[in-house]
Structure 1
Amino acid sequence: MRWSRTFTVVGCHAEGEVGNVITGGVMDVPGKTMFEKKEYLQEHMDDIRGLVLFEPRGAPYVNANIILPPCDSSADLGYVILESTEYPPMSGSNTICVATVALETGMVSMKEPETLLRMEAPAGMIEVRCLCENGKVKQVEFTNVPAFAVHLDTPVEVEGLGTITVDTSYGGMTFAHVNARALGFSITPDEAHQMSLMGQRIKKAVNEQLEVVHPENAKIRDVSNVIFEGPIERIDGRVESVNGTVCLHGRLDRSPTGTGTTGRLAVMSAKGQIAKGELFRNKSIIGTHFDSRVIANARVGERDAVVVTIAGQAWITSIGQHGLDPIDPYPRGHRLSDVWF
């Protein structure tokens, strides 16, 4: 074998969204916090992201995570999330994948029927409860970082659409929320392409016209994703809805989006649409779901916030190695605008 670089990669998805986990090939990176480690990777080692996410090894729907030693000695592990256009502070589906891979591959000891983990993300410490049976992680429930609404029912001018109403939020990532029906969508798989195109236009308009900045970390700013939201219904004693989240460079999240569900609960709470402790089942465009609830109130800077739990499941799909031949012409991968918007 003549590879100049080698990474061990465990393939994984959470409710349909790919969140592969790099378990070997990166020992550690400098940084006193996981956020600083994220910044170091972004500024000095971004070739790893290109290698594992872009073609010919990756695809637009592929995310990855690097497991690193935690900065906080109380944590079981640290991790940095790699997505196609950024390193987000937090991701729910990726967190579920990392917890599942860490336990099912034996990186962290599994205790049945329940394993508790402390996982250090760039956004902060994530408390995780895993339900385990016969060596399988049957459910991952995590307590996300505090979430808050930024704008509520705010008009934005969008090219080709005119004036639309949006909410914005932070739930570990930043979101704009729009009414899917008002924009002509039922949130079905056949609509994904048109939703992606429209979502990019909405994202551009929101970031030009509204300011979205985390009050305690000014480096977390601007809307990353746009959530097309279905109507809120009450079914069998729980609140339900469906959503389609247009991610980053313009494709649909296959999962219900953990940080998006968190941000949506922050908006729903601010509007009085859900009570603390009430179960919210958020469904994805492919029919998978996360179960979630507001468990506490909080403050982030001067903003009212909520603390949210999210529960879902992940499945390991493969274990293998990604490598780089020293004369490979695409050491950072490549992208074409036919599928990479």
Structure 2
Amino acid sequence: MSTVRPTEVRTTDYHTAGEPFRITDLTAADAPLPCPPGDTVAERRANLLGPGGDGTAPRPGLPHEELRLLLAREPRGHSGMYGGFVVPPDDDGAHFGVVFWHKDGYSTACGHGTLALGAWAVDSGRVAAPDDGDAQVRIDVPSGRVTATVHRAGGRTTGVTFRNVPARVTGRGVKADTSLGPVEVDLAHAGACYASLPARALGLTVDRARLPGLVRAAGEIRAALAGHPATLHPAGPLLSGVYGVTLYEELPDTPAGPRQRNVTVFADGQIDRSPCGSGTSARLALLAEDGALEEGRELTHESVIGTVFTGRLVPGAATGQVAGLVTEVTGSSHRTGEHRFTLDPDDTLGTGFGL
């Protein structure tokens, strides 16, 4: 039986370029649960993970884990659901913190979620913003501190730009075997570790009709790279391991710079409907190292559903090969609804199910 006993769970839902983000504010007076224990957001996430805290599986039976399942799974969610628990920041330098979650557990980074949280913070009045101009929202996430700059015009939010933690390339031409043949992938850390390769290397294209094959190949690549040295993060196991696999194809350049279409598959086969925010940062680091993207130019990054992020290197913010490159990604987030979910004690499905 579920250990969640709130009368109701309130959420505010956004989508960023088509990818959902469900916000539950655990710092609110009517929060369904207290914040998970820990002095930092990273510690709070670690305390929600299973033995070893390596991010491979959530710790079963915890109230917060039951709450994640309630919000992520059917009939209240779906296999592509994503969200976050708003928690206190690590210190007074940020407005708040967030523990990201998806259908399989808790992630270290989420670019599309950061964009949504910036819009939510301003739209809700949590962070003051002008009717015309920009407002900065500083957010502590498990991989570090990120900033969402919310763009405003006429009293409305028109877009959001997030500055990610530094991104760095960690592997080139790493071999991985798949059922479609051996491939070589590039690896970059940008809050999480992403493996990138052109879809054509697998005989595939990035379109909806090919999604089953893309997802299957991504899962095989992720499994093949388990424990590879290039997937390890110097901060330790909590930030190590391939989180997402980005399969991309080149499109004609725009006047502003390169253009690509991608699908990023993360966790246990979850498809990012957006161009993937943190994954875009990883692509920027790889393109910069290739000499295909210079300061002042931008990547037009399309998703499998046709939505777009633009990404760029922050001028003068290169921090070296070890520390990485500072990147910014711009997109749009829109509120889709506010919910009051309940858990009927007589409901035999409890916190739901997944298909």
Instruction: State the TM-score, normalized to the length of structure 1.
Output: 0.91
For 2:334 and 2:191, the matched residues in 1 are separated by 23
Is 2:295 the counterpart of 1:288?
no
Partner SS state of residue 231, structure 1: strand
2:144 is aligned with 1:130? no
* Cα separation, 1, equivalents of 2:163 and 2:33: 27
Aligned to 1:171: 190
Give the aligned residue type for 1:123. Answer: S
Which residue pairs with 2:203 in the alignment?
A: 184
Q: Which ranges in structure 2 are unaligned for 5 or more consecutive residues?
A: 26-30, 50-58
- 1:112·1:131 contact (CA, 8 Å) conserved in 2? no
In structure 2, the partner of 1:70 is 89
Report what 1:307 is aligned to: 326
**2:54 maps to which residue?**
none
1: CA distance, partners of 2:166 / 2:346:
46
Q: What is the CA-CA distance between 1:248 and the residue it aligns to? A: 1.4
In structure 2, the residue matched to 1:145 is 165
* CA–CA distance in structure 2, aligned partners of residues 131 and 198 of structure 1: 38
- Say yes or no: does 1:89 pair with 2:96: no
| CA deviation profile, 1:211-260 (whole Å, cap 9, x unmatched) | 51111233211112111011264222322111111121113211000010
2:42·2:141 contact (CA, 8 Å) conserved in 1?
yes
CA contact (8 A) 2:121 2:137 kept: no
Deviation for aligned residue 1:109: 2.6
Take 2:97 and 2:182, find their aligned partners in 1: how far apart are those partners? 42
- Does the 8 Å contact 1:65/1:98 carry over to 2? no
Name the Cα RMSD after superposition.
1.9
Count of residue pairs brought into register by the alignment:
331
> Is residue 21 of structure 2 the alignment partner of residue 19 of structure 1?
yes
Residue 45 of structure 2, aligned match among 31, 38, 43: 38
CA distance in 1 between counterparts of 2:145 and 2:219 reads 31
Determine the C-alpha separation between the residues in 2 that align with 1:265 and 1:255.
Answer: 16
- Secondary structure in 1 matching 2:213: helix
Give runs of aligned pairs for residues 43-54 of structure 1, distance below 5 A. Answer: 43=59, 44=62, 45-54=64-73
User: CA contact under 8 A between 1:4 and 1:323: conserved in structure 2?
Assistant: no
Q: Please, which of 9, 12, 36 is the counterpart of residue 11 of structure 2?
A: 9
SS of 1:303's partner is helix
Q: Residue 117 of structure 1: which of 137, 152, 156 is its match?
A: 137
Identity rate, percent: 26
- Residues 106 and 41 from structure 1, CA distance in 2 versus in 1: closer, same or farther, beyond 3 angstroms? farther
What stretches of structure 1 of length at least 5 have no aligned partner?
337-341
**Greater Cα offset, 228-237 or 85-94:** 228-237
Counterpart residue number, 2:297: 278
Distance 1:194 1:162 in 2: 13
The answer to whether the 8 Å contact 1:246/1:252 transfers is yes
Match of 1:298 in 2: 319
Shift of 1:96: 0.9
Contact 1:297/1:306 (<8 A) preserved = yes
Shift of 1:193: 2.0
Q: CA deviation at 1:190?
A: 1.7
* Cα pair 1:256 1:283 within 8 Å, conserved: yes
Contact between 1:144 and 1:172, CA under 8 Å: does it hold in 2? yes
In 2, the alpha carbon distance for the partners of 1:309 and 1:143 equals: 4
The alpha-carbon deviation at position 317 of structure 1 amounts to: 0.6
Segment drifting more, 193-202 vs 7-16 = 193-202
Question: 1-side partners of 2:144 and 2:350: how far apart?
Answer: 32
**Runs of 4+ with >3 A deviation:** 41-44, 208-211
Matched, 1:243 2:244: no
For residues 196 and 246 of structure 2, what CA distance do their matches in structure 1 show?
5
- Which residue of 280, 283, 289 corresponds with 1:261? 280
Q: Contact between 2:244 and 2:267, CA under 8 Å: does it hold in 1? A: yes
